[in-house]
Structure 1
């Protein structure tokens, strides 16, 4: 069995005029959310042994805010920046860990989540996958290359507002 933690980056800062989208950092709320998500992941026992992360500044800062210890092998992948679901699953097929954390962007990450699960969780925010939204799902396969659409069994789903408000 393999486990995927699929996370949208935390809230980014739009106040950096002239900053390229790829280089936008997290805002204060985003940094707080990333920390809360890290605490939640540890409390639930969802500890990745590999990370596939978009190369954008805000995804890297989200990962750093999770404070995963020990730091798992991490690949910052330009192709995951604003990626479509097909690119994301192709990247996932290259994973080698048993529990993989993938951090990306909407709209692709929302579409990927919906395409991967057998049935969506009964959560009002799953359909729009807000910043920081995190899905944990299991796949009854032996290799990431075997993962395909509608195979994932939802284990958990959370949004940062449930942790910080």
Structure 2
């Protein structure tokens, strides 16, 4: 058993749904922008400021991370990867990206999409509060985060290999 690692799976904040834009180019709504401040406050208060971040290349996920990062101020991680692989990723692809993260990363934040974010949390959660487990099984609302902890290296993380510690929902 190694040191505990924490994985924060964050669904992007509330996005606009303009008919004229492709799904990938949907920007955050005003409500989504407000939600980002709540996410940053939660990360800071819970001691979950990430060491590394994986962000889907979709506009709404990039904007979510940029606003969360801005609200974190000086507590910004050195390792941020924006990747097309997360945009249409299923659970297997998301987990593969997590497994490639450097073993020295203690807290990893993934900013992605539903239903992959909650399905990944559900699949990884071997233990957790019944209400939290129920929440990830039914899906996460915008700007909600599932927080998992594992004692195994990222490269070895698999089904049931983590504890679901919390599910955070924004106030706005």
Note the 1:49-128 alignment, pairs <5 A: 49-66=51-68, 67-68=71-72, 69-72=74-77, 73-96=79-102, 97-121=105-129, 122-123=131-132, 125-126=135-136, 127-128=138-139
User: Could you state the TM-score of these two structures normalised by the residue count of structure 2?
Assistant: 0.87
- 1:148, CA displacement in angstroms? 0.5
SS of residue matched to 2:75: coil
Q: What corresponds to 1:139 in structure 2?
A: 150
Provide, for residues 35-86 of structure 1, a one-character-per-residue CA deviation record: whole Å limited to 9, x for no partner: 1111111111111000011011100111112133332110001010031000
Q: Which runs of 5+ in 2 are unaligned?
A: none
Q: Which runs of 5+ in 1 are unaligned?
A: none
Contact 1:94 / 1:144 at 8 angstroms: preserved in 2?
A: yes
- 1:120, CA displacement in angstroms? 4.7
- 1:130, CA displacement in angstroms? 1.3
Q: Which 4+ runs in 1 deviate beyond 6 A?
A: none
Name the CA distance, whole Å, in 1 between partners of 2:165 and 2:140. 16
SS of residue matched to 2:117: helix
Contact 1:85 / 1:111 at 8 angstroms: preserved in 2?
A: yes
- 1:151, CA displacement in angstroms? 1.3
Name the CA distance, whole Å, in 1 between partners of 2:139 and 2:98. 22
Q: What corresponds to 1:11 in structure 2?
A: 14
Name the CA distance, whole Å, in 2 between partners of 1:112 and 1:136. 11
The one of 123, 147, 151 aligned to 2:161? 151
Name the CA distance, whole Å, in 1 between partners of 2:52 and 2:95. 15
- 1:125, CA displacement in angstroms? 3.6
